[in-house]
Structure 1
Amino acid sequence: MLRIDFTAEDLGRLRVAGEPDPLWEITLSLHLLQNRQAAVVFDPWRREVRAGLARAGLTATTTALTRLVPSAAYFPDFLTPGQGTAPDLHTGIELVLSTPRRRLAAELAQLCPRGPVPPLVRRLAEGDPRALQGLGGALRRYYAIAVEPYRPAVREAVRADRSVRSDAALRAGPDGLLRSYGPALTWESRTLTAPYPHPRDLPLDGRPLTIVPSFFCVLMPVTLADDGLDPVLVHPLGPAPGWLARARAQGRLGAADLPVGQLIGPTRALVLDALEQPRTTTQLAELLRLTMSTASRHATVLREAGLVISERRGHEVFHVRTGLGDALMDGAL
């Protein structure tokens, strides 16, 4: 059982993340690929993702990632930085790769307390630059297959959950907000309790608790292992069985099926949809299986139309949607 005690001041500091956190969705979806939890809900996704990973030649890469994120009570906290508020995948991965070496060594040591340490884990624990860059690439490639294509369904679930939480908070303040998480979470006498693999108290110590909704979190909430980090509580969104089939039938998982596709063309609509978060031309080409020249041409046309901006970060140029591009994709124009 997990127990979190609140003071009146703690209730005033309570926060709820407004968007899914890409790094939490990566780690928790990796858990689901290693177990059969919520089989009725997620088995169609498991089959689809495993096939997609195999086609992309990422089966071995995913196996390596599962050694860092085992389906167990512990996995390293540095893989989910930003206290549940990483704004996009690129920023989240940069935070992962900038983890201090001492912290890498301490957290990774807990993965293999008794058995032999796999070479990848050892190199990461030593802060090897090539191993860290390889980890960043693996996370990006895995996300592109296992999470990115399902982002519309994830966003829809998060928005629906946020509406429920907002209504509860407006009606009854922080007490009402925390009660709205029942029955998964129990709120009574300023104490929040939840099922957990082992008995644990999570001290707030005057720090704000951030509650993070997660599509791929199932059965019970998850929190960081280190009490010294700013407290985060990740809670399951609990999609209903058949979510994947319904989303496909309704066209929510393909930008080409959106009305904007009829205006700017299906491929350009896919490019604009993908640029909800910053991406290089190379990343766009890999994600959408386009040639570099085609991806560059679409990005240029969208930029000239004011739907995308491009900015240099070091040696790379990233493209991202503008407010006008967001409005077009959301049908707000």
Structure 2
Amino acid sequence: MLQVDFGGGALGRVRVARGADPLWEAALSLQLLQNRQESLAYDTWRREVRGALHRTGLADDVRALMPLCPPTGYFPDFLTPGRGDTGVEESVDCVLSTPRRRLAAELTRLCRDLRGPLPRSVRWVATGDVGALHWLGTTLRRYHAVAVAPYAAAIRARVADDRARRAEAALGGGAEGLLASYAELPGWHLRGTRLTTPYPEARSLQLGGRTLTLVPSFFCVRTPLALVDEALPPVLVHPLHPDPGWLPRLRAGAATPSVAHLIGASRAQLLDLLRTPMTTTEVAGALRLAPSTASRHAAVLREAGLVSTRREGNRVLHRRTPLGRALLEGAAPDTSAAPG
């Protein structure tokens, strides 16, 4: 059980994240990939992702990543630096800027829970070696592109439902009403200003006058989670509980029909995917296409002004333009930031 006391003015500082956080989703989905929890809701997703990892040549790297984020229990806080307010690239940059001392301390704690010989990937990352951190960042990005990004529409829909519920509660009852709305979740209870939730162990989360951010998560199951290091900005990540039919519905309506009729289903899916900048390889893995096909689709969209492509360091990234977003969402494009 987890207890959070919102006395002393803490209730007025509660924040609800804008959306799911990319690296919390990556870490928690990586745990789900290794266990059998909530099989009805996630087994089809597991089969799809495992197949995509093999097709994209990412399976070995993800197997090496798994000891850093085991199927249950503790995983290092540095893997989840966000609070639902940063994209994949910013979040990965935060991971890679983790001080060596913190890397070593959190991975030493992880090693106490691991059974058997210490995995090479854990030893390597713990050194803070530049090559190790480059591998970690690249693998996190590529894993997110295969296991999380293709399911963004379902994630956004569940987050939007949850956020609407919280907004309604806050408008009707202020901060107290917002907090009371979380007490409707299974196993959550509110007594005065003290919120108790299910948790893997007995714990009290001390806010100390700081803002608590409540982050919804599509791949969080059973119990909410908080960072272990209480010196870090406090977050409480809570499950969204998708129903067993979420993936078939996503596949049935993967692209807006009118847009799909106009530019084709694969290109409409690619355009939807590029709300986050991605390489051709990442796009190919996420959409289960050959890299040459993904490149050709990106080129067509770029020629139409719907996608832009630019080199950043040693990576070539595709981005959706304001016109591409407007086409997908059926709204007028925002040209305020567009070059003249």
TM over 0.5: yes
Structure 1 residues 75-84 or 206-215, which shifts more?
75-84
CA contact (8 A) 1:209 1:230 kept: yes
> Structure 1 312/60 Cα, relative in aligned 2: closer, same or farther at 3 Å?
closer
Q: Provide the residue aligned with 2:336 in structure 1.
A: none
Taking structure 2 as the reference length, the TM-score comes to 0.88
> Kindly, what percent of the aligned residue pairs are identical?
55
Q: Is 2:17–2:83's contact at 8 Å kept on the other side of the alignment?
A: no
Counterpart position of 1:72:
72
Residue matched to 1:103: 102
User: How has the CA–CA distance of structure 1 residues 246 and 68 changed in structure 2, closer, same or farther, with 3 Å as cutoff?
Assistant: same
* 1:215/1:8 CA distance change after superposition, 3 Å: same
Alpha-carbon distance between aligned partners in 1 of 2:284 and 2:194, rounded to the nearest angstrom: 49
1:31 and 2:34 are equivalent in the alignment:
no
Q: 1:239 and 1:24 mapped to 2: Cα distance?
A: 16
Give the 3-state SS of the residue equivalent to 1:111 in structure 2.
helix
1:59 aligns with: 59
CA gap of 1:23–1:207, structure 2 versus 1, over 3 A, is: same
Are 1:20 and 2:23 an aligned pair?
no
Match of 2:331 in 1: 332
Structure 1: which amino acid aligns with 2:172? R
Change in 2 beyond 3 A, CA 1:55/1:318: closer
Tell me which of 210, 214, 238 is aligned to 1:235: 238
- Count of paired positions: 328
Q: Compute the displacement of 1:190 (Å).
A: 0.6
The equivalences for 1:277-288 within 5 A come to: 277-288=276-287
Out of 215, 218, 221, the position equivalent to 2:218 is 215
User: Where does structure 1 lack aligned partners over 5 or more consecutive residues?
Assistant: none
CA displacement at 1:300 relative to structure 2 = 5.0
Structure 2, unmatched stretches of 5+, are 333-340
- The structure-2 alpha-carbon separation of the partners of 1:59 and 1:209, relative to structure 1 and needing over 3 Å to count, comes to same
- The aligned residue for residue 82 of structure 1 is 82
Q: Which residue of 2 aligns with 1:179?
A: 180
Higher mean displacement: 227-236 or 47-56: 47-56
C-alpha displacement of 1:311? 5.0
Q: Please say which of residues 75-84 and 298-307 is displaced more in the overlay.
A: 298-307
Partner of 2:337: none
How many Å apart are 1:73 and its aligned residue?
2.4
Q: What is the aligned partner in structure 2 of residue 273 from structure 1? A: 272
Inter-partner Cα distance in structure 2 for 1:189 and 1:321? 47
8 Å Cα contact 1:84-1:232 kept in structure 2: no
Counterparts of 1:82-231 in structure 2, within 5 Å, are 82-86=82-86, 88-113=87-112, 116-181=117-182, 182-184=184-186, 185-231=188-234
Aligned to 2:43: 43
Amino acid at match of 1:62: V
Over the aligned positions, Cα root-mean-square deviation in angstroms equals 2.3
Contact conserved, 2:26 with 2:144, CA < 8 A, in 1? yes
Question: Which residue type is aligned with residue 216 of structure 1?
Answer: F
Residue 283 and residue 58 in structure 1: after superposition, are their counterparts in 2 closer, same or farther (change >3 A)?
closer
> Cα deviations across residues 301-322 of structure 1 (Å, max 9, x unaligned)?
5445443344553454433223
Kindly tell me: are residues 33 and 229 of structure 1, through their superposed partners in 2, closer, same or farther at Cα, counting changes over 3 Å?
same
Alpha-carbon spacing, 1:312–1:146, altered in 2? closer, same or farther (3 Å): closer
- State the distance in 2 between where 1:14 and 1:92 align: 22
1:58/1:310 Cα in 2 relative to 1: closer, same or farther (>3 Å)?
Answer: closer
Alpha-carbon distance in structure 1 between the residues aligned to 2:119 and 2:283: 33
- Structure 1: how far apart are the matches of 2:29 and 2:288? 23
SS in 2 for 1:193: strand
Q: CA deviation at 1:54?
A: 3.3
